[in-house]
Amino acid sequence: MPLNATKVTNFGFFRECLSESVLRYLAPQPEKQKKKKRKERRKSGSKTVSLSALSQASNDTAEDVIKKRTENGSWVDIPRSRNILDGHLSNHDDKSEQDTDAKDVSEAEELSEFIDFLAHGIFSDLPADLRSLTHRSFEASKSLQARYATPLSSDTVNRLVAPLPTLYVETISTFLPSLVASDPTFFEAFLSPVLTSYVEGAIAAPPPPSSTKDTADCCEICLREHMPLTYHHLIPKSVHDKVIKRGWHEARQLNDVAWLCRQCHSFVHRIAGNEELAREWYTVEKLLEREDVQRWARWCGGIRWKKK
C-alpha cells in the first residue's frame, strides 16, 4: 500500500534517525593519543648518508643494467633489479588500492541495504498514528500527547518494540554481533533513541516563513531550482476571519505557506478562488493531487528562468 505524503516525509526522517543510531554503533571508538616523546638528538659524530649517495651505491653494486632512453634522447643505465622491483611494487600497490576501493564500495552497499531493510520494515510495523504523526495532529489530540510524550518512557518503547518480528533482531545481529551478545535487551536500547528522535522531529512546530526562505532551494510545485521564490499563503489571508468563524481550520494553520516561483504562484490563484483554496487545497500535497496542477508542473518544469 503506497504511503501518503505525510508518511513519506515521516519515513525519510525515521530512516535518518535509524541510520544515525546504526553508524554510532559501528563507528570505531577514538583512541587516546599518547604524548609523543621528543627524539633524542643525534650525537654530533653520527654519520648521515644522502639519497644521491645511496642511489650511486646501488648503481655501482648492480650486477646487471638496462638501457633506457630519456625524453631528450640520451640513454641512461638503470639497474635491472631495481627496475623489476619498482614495477612489481607499483603493480602491487595499484592492485591493493583497487581491492581496497572495491571492498569499501561493497561494504557501503551492504550497510545501505541493511539500513533500508530495517527502516522499511520497522516503520511499516509501527502504529498508524505514529507513522502519520505531525505537529498539527499531536497538538489537536490529548491522547497522542499522552501516548507519545517525549522523551519516550521505557514502557512506551517496550510497547512499540514488543510486537516487532524477531527477524529484525536477527538482521541486526549480523552487523552488530558484539552488541547483541553483550546485552539481551539491546533491541529496546537500540530503538529507544531512534523512536524518541523521530517523535521529537515529527511533532516539532514548523518554522515561520521568514526563517525558511534561505532553505527553500526550489519551487515546491515545478521543482525548478535557482528561481526567485515567493511564499504563497496556503490559506489566503483575505479569508482568515471566515476560516476561523466557520471552523474550517485552526488558528495555528493560518501561517502555513509554500515557497513557489512567480509563475506557479499565479497559476494556483487561477485554478480556484480564495475560499476554495482555503477549504480544499490548503497543502502542497493536496494541490499536487489535482491533474491540472500536475500537467502544469510538468510543462512549467521544462522552462528555464533567465535574468534579463
Burial environment of residue 190 by CB neighbours within 10 A (0 to 12, 13 to 18, 19 or more) = buried
Say if residue 210's pLDDT is above 70: no
Say if residue 1's pLDDT is above 60: no
Question: Which range among 76-80, 150-154, 228-232 shows the weakest confidence by mean pLDDT?
Answer: 76-80
pTM of model > 0.75: no
pLDDT of residue 91: 58
| Most confident of the following: 7-21, 60-74, 178-192, 287-301 | 287-301
Question: pLDDT by residue (tens digit) across 122-132?
Answer: 999 999 999 99
69 φ, ψ to 5°?
-85, 130
Question: Which range among 4-13, 136-145, 221-230, 258-267 shows the weakest confidence by mean pLDDT?
Answer: 4-13
| End-to-end C-alpha distance for the chain, whole angstroms | 47
Say if residue 2's pLDDT is above 50: no
**Alpha carbons 268 and 256: distance in angstroms, whole number:** 15
| Mean predicted confidence (pLDDT) in 152-179 | 86
For residue 233, what are the β-bridge partners?
Answer: 257
What Cα–Cα distance (Å) separates residue 43 from each residue in 48, 49, 54, 158, 241?
A: 11, 15, 22, 68, 90
Contact 175, 111 (CB under 8 A): yes
Say if residue 172's pLDDT is above 50: yes
- Give residues with Cβ within 8 angstroms of 13, minimum separation 6: 198, 201, 202
Contact 221, 293 (CB under 8 A): yes
Domain segments of the chain as ranges: 1-25+60-205, 209-300
Task: Please give the helix or strand (H or E) that residue 62 lies within, else none.
Answer: none
The widest CA-to-CA distance across the chain, in whole angstroms, is 101
Say if residue 286's pLDDT is above 90: yes
Say if residue 261's pLDDT is above 60: yes
Say if residue 36's pLDDT is above 60: no
